[in-house]
Amino acid sequence: MKVLVPVKRVLDYNVKPRVKADGTGIDLANVKMSMNPFDEIAVEEAIRLKEKGVVTEIVVVSIGEPKSQDTLRTALAMGADRAILVTSDTKVEPLGVAKLLKAIADEEQPGLVILGKQAIDDDNNQTGQMLAALTGWGQGTFASKVEVEGDFVTVTREVDGGAETEKLKLPAIVTTDLRLNEPRYASLPNIMKAKSKPLATKTAADFGVDVSPRLTTLKVVEPAKRSAGIKVADVDELVGKLKAMGVAK
């Protein structure tokens, strides 16, 4: 079975985002960019399924600026087999990404598509569900456990009250939550090896998909800042404050 894993290049999660002075977005000039952490978990899960013998080939896809190639190389170094880069000059929204992924899924015929549940830049949490809608496949979102058996995948999902398990017919879509696995680091030899793994470059137009944005960002501002309050010296003072607030009697 082939697995398709879409990955996104985003501002590294350790970097504090800075709003541009002109209010058009986040300043991404000269800052560290990395693979979206949830996508790393998706790549890792695909590799583990390959190590178990369930999966035969892992194809990673990224849609975005040409530099997304770095993110694909990281996925190849982790253990993916080949990569597809779909370049776009403009920002592609989740709906457009899902349409491109649908076109790629039509060509590649994967048994499973594993995606991060959300990207930590736009925090949309949409692409996997949208791809599931367009393909008509089942969706196991926010997965903490994935088990492939025969023609089905059983997905344990992190839900508000705890965990929920669903059984999906293959092919299916899985989106990863934080505790599905701990992604591996690519070793130096594997990073070298990844440089010679196949990477195909395409454009959105190659797929005949209209990815023009539906949303216009009118402005981006910093949220209202909380100011630091006071420090209390000891528990008695804290108890006094809590009583004054009516929280404690």
Partner 1 sequence: MSVLVWVEHDGATVKDATLSTVTAAGKLGDVTLLVAGEGVSGAAEAAAKIAGVTKVLVADDAALAHALAENVAPLIVTLMADHDAFLVPSTTNGKNIAPRVAALLDVMQISDILSVESADTFTRPIYAGNAIATVQSKDAKKVISVRGTAFEKAATEGGSATIEPVSGAADAGVSTYVGSEIAKSERPELTSAKIIVSGGRALQNGENFHALIEPLADKLGAGVGASRAAVDAGYVPNDYQVGQTGKIVAPEVYVAIGISGAIQHLAGMKDSKTIIAINKDEDAPIFQVADIGLVGDLFKIVPELTEKL
Binding to partner 1, residues 72-131 (CB under 8 A): 93-95, 98, 117-118, 120-131
Alpha-carbon span 33 to 41, nearest angstrom: 17
Site for partner 1 in 225-244 (CB under 8 A): 226, 228-232, 234-236, 238-239, 241-242
Q: Give the interface size with partner 1 as a residue count (CB under 8 A).
A: 80
Task: Give the three-state DSSP class for 33.
Answer: strand
Closest CA to 9 of 35, 32, 27: 35
Taking a C-beta distance cutoff of 8 angstroms, is the pair 56, 1 a contact? yes
Residues 14-43 within binding reach of partner 1 (CB under 8 A): 16-17, 19, 26, 38
Stretch that binds partner 1, among 44-52, 54-62, 64-72, 141-149 (CB under 8 A): 141-149
Q: Which is nearer to partner 1, 188 or 247 (CB)?
A: 247
- For residue 68, give Cα distances in angstroms to 77, 201, 231: 14, 11, 45
Give the separation between CA 218 and CA 225, rounded to whole angstroms: 21
Task: Out of 49, 74, 157, 186, point to the residue binding partner 1 (CB under 8 A).
Answer: 157
Q: Which CB, 22 or 123, lies closer to partner 1?
A: 123
Q: What string of DSSP letters covers 148-177?
A: EETTEEEEEEEETTEEEEEEEESSEEEEE-
Q: Which residues, 162 to 191, sit near partner 1 by CB under 8 A?
A: 162-169, 172, 177-179
Q: Do residues 137 and 26 lie in contact, with contact meaning Cβ atoms separated by under 8 Å?
A: no
| CB 108 to partner 1: min, Å | 19
Instruction: For the segment 186-215, give every residue that binds partner 1 (CB under 8 A).
Output: 213-215
Residue among 197 and 241 whose Cβ is closer to partner 1? 241
